[in-house]
A and B are shown apart, each in its own frame.
Chain A
Amino acid sequence: AQSVTQPDIHITVSEGASLELRCNYSYGATPYLFWYVQSPGQGLQLLLKYFSGDTLVQGIKGFEAEFKRSQSSFNLRKPSVHWSDAAEYFCAVEGNTPLVFGKGTRLSVIA
C-alpha cells in the first residue's frame, strides 16, 4: 500500500513571500497525487492533481506542484502567498487503495 510523508508540521511565511510545501510518497509504481486544503471548520478542497503526463501541474488559487519520480516527491508551490492562504494543507496519494493522506502542514501567514 502507499504512504505519504509531509515533513513540515507548521510553516510560517510572510504575506507576499514564496511558499513550498514538501510531500514525499512511497509506492511501487506511479500513483495519483493530490493536494487538498482545509480551512478552519471547513471540508477539503482540491487544489490540484496529477494523474500522468506533464509533471508540472497547475491548480486553483495560483498553486502549482511538480511531480519528481526520482525523488518520489510532489511539492506544492506558490510564488506569492496571500493572507487568505492560511490553512491546513494535505498531500494525498492514491495507488492500489483509496486515498491516503499525509499528516498535513499548517500554514500561517504573517503581515
Chain B
Amino acid sequence: SAVISQKPSRDICQRGTSLTIQCQVDSQVTMMFWYRQQPGQSLTLIATANQGSEATYESGFVIDKFPISRPNLTFSTLTVSNMSPEDSSIYLCSAKRGKVDTEAFFGQGTRLTVV
C-alpha cells in the first residue's frame, strides 16, 4: 500500500470559520475518498473525490458544506465550511490503487474540534 499524509493532524477552530484539510498520497492512485468519524462512532463516507470533476457526495453531505478538490492523481482537499460544534470529528482521507481487487488505505486522520 502507499502512504497517505494528512495536514493538519489536528486543529481547534472557531464556529463559523472554515478549515481545509490536505491529503497527499506518495504515489498515483485511482480513487480517493473522504470519511468522517464522529466521537465514539464508526466511519461514514462523505464523498468520492473525482480527479478533474466534481466529487460524488453521499446522502446527507452537500458540496456547499464540504467542498472537495482533486486536481491530480495524488492530492485532494476537503474543506469543512461554516463550522459548528457538530462538525467536531476525525476526518480521514482514503485511497485505492484500482477499482478491482484492491484495498483502501487510510491516512492518520485530522482531528477537528470546533468551539
Chain A positions near chain B (C-beta within 8 angstroms) = 32, 34, 36, 41-46, 49, 51-52, 90, 94, 98-104
Contacts and interface: CB of A to CB of B under 8 A. Distances in A.
Nearest to B44: A101
B64 interface: no
B9 to A, nearest CB: 10
A43 B42 contact: no
B101 A99 contact: no
A32 B99 CA distance: 11
A102 B37 CA distance: 12
B115 interface: no
For the residues of B in contact with A, the DSSP-based class is strand
B112 to A, nearest CB: 14
Contacts of B107: 43
A45 B33 CA distance: 16
Contacts of B92: 43-44
A46 to B, nearest CB: 6
A24 B65 CA distance: 33
Contacts of A52: 101
Contacts of A99: 33, 43, 45, 94, 104
A98 B105 contact: no
Contact of B45 (A45, A49, A100): A100
B60 to A, nearest CB: 14
Given A43-B109, A46-B1, A101 B42 contact: yes
Nearest to A94: B104
Contacts of B48: 98
B108 interface: yes
Interface in B93-111: 94, 101, 103-109, 111
A103 B33 contact: no
A101 B43 contact: yes
Given A43-B106, A101-B43, 5 more contacts: A44-B43, A99-B33, A99-B45, A99-B104, A100-B45
